Amino acid sequence: MDKENRLKQIAGYINKMPSLPISVTKVIEICNDPRTSPADLNRVIRVDPVLMGNVMKLINSAYYGLSDQVTSLVRAIIMLGINTVKNLSLSTAILGTLSTKDQFQALNMDGFWRHSLCVGAAAKLIARHIKVDQKNLENYFIAGLLHDIGKIPLNNKLPGEYLQAISISDRKHQSLVKSETEAMEINHTESGHLIVHSWKLGEEIKDAVVYHHSPESYEGKNKEIVYAIAAANYFSNYFEIGFSGDRYPEKPQEFIFTELGVTVDWFEGIEETVNEEINKAKIFLNMKK
């Protein structure tokens, strides 16, 4: 099968993926408006019992550790922040769509999502370390959670070739993204780009998905988040937290770590915190332990 036919198969899979729920699409649209207020968000969320339940579950979870239970949706939105609510909505919708075992033919689903959560949690800690605006911290988490999303259609539509890519990576001790291209002529950053475009997930997520294996070639306006996802991805693979098929990842160029002010020692210092964040995130994303 040539590259064109593979891309057609992947595009066909993506086109048949369920759309994001209307309420989630509306939440994203409202949150992207700088004039949005918690009351605006309340009007959308309160008519979606599942989404409302997720917001209330998060604010009252161990993740926030509040002494008194929050019962007001508006108060929950104010306390969480508009961006957190947007990314919670997006995360739960995407995981609900893509977390079935039949979509993971070549990779282990639980290992994949643990790796993804690790990258999200580590990227958020990097963002805090480089003093990213508090309201933008959750953007780093969602970008990390979704950085490898392109592996899912490759697993589903080309499982035999994907196993071959993993085999090449193991045999040659080279990165999986390089082995994907060798085995299939396409890789997960390309298929991930198609998903992000299809779901209109925005420039920051698109750039993180497309460039997390080639941050040194990125020249856009979202360098901090691209660099953070690249570094967090390497951290997750290096410390073997979860597994997404990449046993021999290429280390990003040193200037990436210098720009972020992080080192291997710094990453060792956050490992316990990252694992705690993963377990907390699983609670509000309704994932198994």
Residue 207 domain flag: yes
Q: Could you give the residue ranges of the DSSP H alpha helices within the chain?
A: 3-16, 22-31, 38-45, 49-59, 73-80, 82-98, 109-129, 137-146, 151-157, 159-172, 176-184, 188-199, 203-211, 223-238, 254-260, 264-284
Residue 39 domain flag: no
Return the DSSP state at 18. P
Residue range(s) defining the domain that contains residue 118: 3-17+101-284
Do the Cβ atoms of 150 and 209 come closer than 8 Å?
yes
Task: Look at residue 288 in the predicted model and tell me its pLDDT.
Answer: 56
Q: What is the CATH number of the domain that holds 217?
A: 1.10.3210.10
Please state at what angle helix 49-59 crosses helix 22-31, rounded to 10 degrees: 60
Residue 26 domain flag: no
Domain count across the chain? 1
Residue 52 domain flag: no
Do the Cβ atoms of 32 and 41 come closer than 8 Å?
no
pLDDT mean by block of 10 residues, the chain; 289 residues: 87 83 85 88 90 87 81 92 85 80 84 94 96 88 95 92 95 96 95 91 94 97 98 95 93 96 94 88 65
Residue 257 domain flag: yes
Using the Cα atoms of residue 42, residue 46, residue 48 and residue 52 in order, give the sign of their dihedral.
positive
Question: 168 — phi, psi (to 5°)?
Answer: -60, -45
pTM above 0.95, yes or no: no
Q: Which residue has the tokens 């990576």?
A: 169
Task: Look at residue 114 in the predicted model and tell me its pLDDT.
Answer: 93
Residue 35 domain flag: no
Please state at what angle helix 22-31 crosses helix 82-98, rounded to 10 degrees: 150
Residue 30 domain flag: no
Task: Look at residue 51 in the predicted model and tell me its pLDDT.
Answer: 87
Please state at what angle helix 38-45 crosses helix 73-80, rounded to 10 degrees: 130
Residue 161 domain flag: yes
Alpha-carbon distance of 132 to 156, in angstroms, equals: 36
Please state at what angle helix 188-199 crosses helix 176-184, rounded to 10 degrees: 90
